[in-house]
Structure formats: structure tokens, C-alpha cells
């Protein structure tokens, strides 16, 4: 019988003659690493590597327990020997396996229980994690905690933008009541005023002067066809 590969810590593929078969080691169970619905359990990968190193260059032989030689998956249920040493016992002794799946095959059960008690007392591997080995049933209890995602702190509220003062607007073509920034506040004559206020100013403007309002219509330096209107107070 030739070693082919390790499936996991308690399952091996070997070649018997020209036929490849899968062996399931009786009475033991190692952590799960192949179930796509479950996370890889602690010591699962290590158990597989240890079993691989133990079998790869050894002389292998196997022994059935009773007439039930295979399980429903077609795996051969065996006690496996490497250089005449019981591999099932070695996996338990090293702390990679626990006793599990005990059915009608019980030939080495008592011997494995003694081995397991020693590994448990020494807290070897699977026994080093409190509560990991399911003492009330089969398998292992492993619920990895999801990483806590820290939320980024909320940015401090930005101070409210100060309202931008609107520049005074005027209705084009009409005298204005609003002062133009940078303009003089007094003018010698209309020619000088119209450089800044081409359509003249109203009586409400800071630069209004009676001498520029010869027709006394509340408009200074305006066009001849323009008459004062109340809305011009805000123009």
C-alpha cells in the first residue's frame, strides 16, 4: 500500500495495487478544514500537515474492525499503521485528534481513551483552547468573532458660511439711488458725474445735488425723456 495524499487530519488517500482508495481513520476526529460552509478550525491545517509527514515515507498497512468496511461515502473505515505504529492513536496522542464517531467499531476504543486523557491533561493543541472540544457531542465548537469595524468619526460640522453681501444692482438705462464703490461723493458738474453714473442719480443718492437738478424733478443729470418713478428709490 502506497501513500498518495492527506485529505485532512483523519482522512487519507492511498494506492492499493493499481487502485486508489480513501481511508477514514476509525474512532478519531480532527478539526474541519474542507467544509466550504464553515471557517477553517484551529489546528485543522496543522493536523493535516502532521499526518502527511508521519505517513509520507512510512511502510503502511491497515486493519478493519468488523464487517462494515466502508461508510456511505465509500471511504474505508480502518485502523492505519505506519511502520507498525497505530496512526489513529498517534493523532490523539499528539493532541491533533479527539475520540469521535464511535459506532460499532470499538476494538481500540479503551486504548484511545487512555491516550486522550493524557493529551487532555497536558493541554496539547486542541486541548489548549478552553471549550473547543465539544464534550457533549461530536466535533468542535468554533465561532470566530467577526472583526469589529470601527466607524470613522463624523467630521465636525463646518461653520455656516457668512452670507455674501450682494452688490447693488441697478436697472440699466435709468438713474440710480445706489452709491458706486470708489466713486466720488460730490461732482463739479454732470459731465463729471456721468463718468460714474451715465444715466444720472435720484434724489435719494448721496451724490445728488440740487444744482444738477435744474428741472427740480428729483433726478440729477438724467436723460431728457426720463421722469422720476417711486421704484427708482431702490434702483
What residues are annotated to the active site? 24, 32, 75
CA 221 – CA 215 distance, rounded (Å): 10
The three three-digit cell numbers of residue 54, written as one number = 508521519
Q: Which helix (H) or strand (E) holds 191?
A: helix 190-194
Beta strands 201-202 and 98-99, pairing class: unpaired
As given in the structure block, the three cell numbers for residue 208 are 445728488
Asked if 221 contacts 190 with a C-beta cutoff of 8 angstroms, the reply is yes
H helix intervals, 96-179: 109-122
**d(Cα 66, Cα 62) in Å, to the nearest integer?**
13
As a 3-state breakdown, the chain gives helix, strand, coil percent values, each rounded to 5, of 20, 20, 60
Amino acid at each position: 500500500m502506497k501513500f498518495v495524499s492527506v485529505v485532512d487530519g483523519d482522512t487519507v488517500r492511498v494506492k492499493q495495487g493499481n487502485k486508489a482508495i480513501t481511508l477514514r481513520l476509525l474512532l478519531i476526529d480532527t478539526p474541519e478544514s474542507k467544509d466550504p460552509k464553515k471557517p477553517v478550525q484551529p489546528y485543522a491545517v496543522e493536523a493535516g500537515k502532521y499526518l502527511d509527514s508521519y505517513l509520507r515515507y512510512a511502510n503502511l498497512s491497515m486493519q478493519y474492525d468488523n464487517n462494515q468496511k466502508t461508510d456511505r461515502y465509500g471511504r474505508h473505515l480502518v485502523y492505519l499503521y505506519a511502520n507498525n505504529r497505530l496512526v489513529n492513536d498517534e493523532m490523539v496522542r499528539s493532541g491533533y485528534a479527539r475520540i469521535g464517531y464511535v459506532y460499532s467499531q470499538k476494538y481500540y476504543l479503551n486504548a484511545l481513551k487512555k491516550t486522550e486523557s493524557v493529551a487532555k491533561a497536558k493541554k496539547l493543541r486542541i486541548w489548549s483552547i478552553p471549550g473547543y472540544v465539544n464534550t457533549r457531542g461530536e466535533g468542535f465548537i468554533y465561532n470566530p468573532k467577526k472583526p469589529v469595524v470601527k466607524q470613522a468619526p463624523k467630521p465636525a460640522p463646518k461653520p455656516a458660511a457668512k452670507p455674501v453681501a450682494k452688490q447693488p444692482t441697478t436697472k440699466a438705462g435709468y438713474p440710480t439711488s445706489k452709491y458706486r464703490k470708489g466713486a466720488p461723493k460730490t461732482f463739479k458738474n454732470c459731465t463729471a458725474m456721468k463718468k460714474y453714473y451715465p444715466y444720472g442719480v435720484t434724489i435719494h443718492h448721496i451724490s445728488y445735488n440740487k444744482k444738477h437738478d435744474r428741472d427740480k424733478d428729483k433726478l440729477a443729470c438724467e436723460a431728457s425723456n426720463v421722469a422720476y418713478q417711486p421704484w427708482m428709490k431702490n434702483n
